[in-house]
Amino acid sequence: MEATGQSEGFEKTFALNHLNYFLLTNLLLDTLKASAPARIVNVSSDSHKGAQLDFDDLQSEKPGLAYGRSKLANVVFSYELARRLSGTGMTVNILHPGWVRTGFANDLGVVPSAVIGFFMRFVGLTPEQGAQTSVYLATSPDVEM
C-alpha cells in the first residue's frame, strides 16, 4: 500500500478521516448521552458525492478513492448516528467546510502541490473562515434539539 500507506493495519486515509471519528465518538457516547443536551459535529467534504462504499474493498490503495470513501463513510455514519440518537437530546451534524487553505495538498508532490496551492490562494478560505460552520453547529441555539 505504497500510495497511501497503512496505519494499524488500515489504509491511512480511511483510518484518519473516518475510523478516528467513529472510534472517538463511540468512546465518548455514554458520557455525551449523560451530558445531554450535547452535540456531535463531524467534518466531511463534498468529495463524498462521487464516492461509493465498497465493503469488499474499504482498504482501497488509490488515494483519490480512499479520500472520497472516507468522507462518504463520515456522512453515512453521521446520518445513522443521528437516527439512533433521535429523542435523546443530542444532535449530530455533518458539514463540508469549503475549500480551506490548510496545506492539505502539501504531500502530493511538487507539481500537484504547486497547482493546488496556487488555486487555493485565490479561492480558498482562511482556516478561521473554514471553521465558522463547525463553530456555528457546535454553539448556535438555532440547531438545538
Annotated catalytic residues are 67
Residue that the C-alpha cell 468512546 belongs to: 27
Residue that the C-alpha cell 496551492 belongs to: 117
Nearest to 121 by CA among 99, 140, 139, 92: 99
Beta bridge partners of 91: 39
Q: C-alpha dihedral over 66, 21, 40, 94, to 10 degrees? A: 0
User: For residue 32, with 0-12 CB atoms within 10 Å meaning exposed, 13-18 middle and 19 or more buried, which class applies?
Assistant: middle
List the grid coordinates of 109: 508532490
- C-alpha 43/C-alpha 45 separation (Å) is 7
Residues, the chain, total?
A: 145
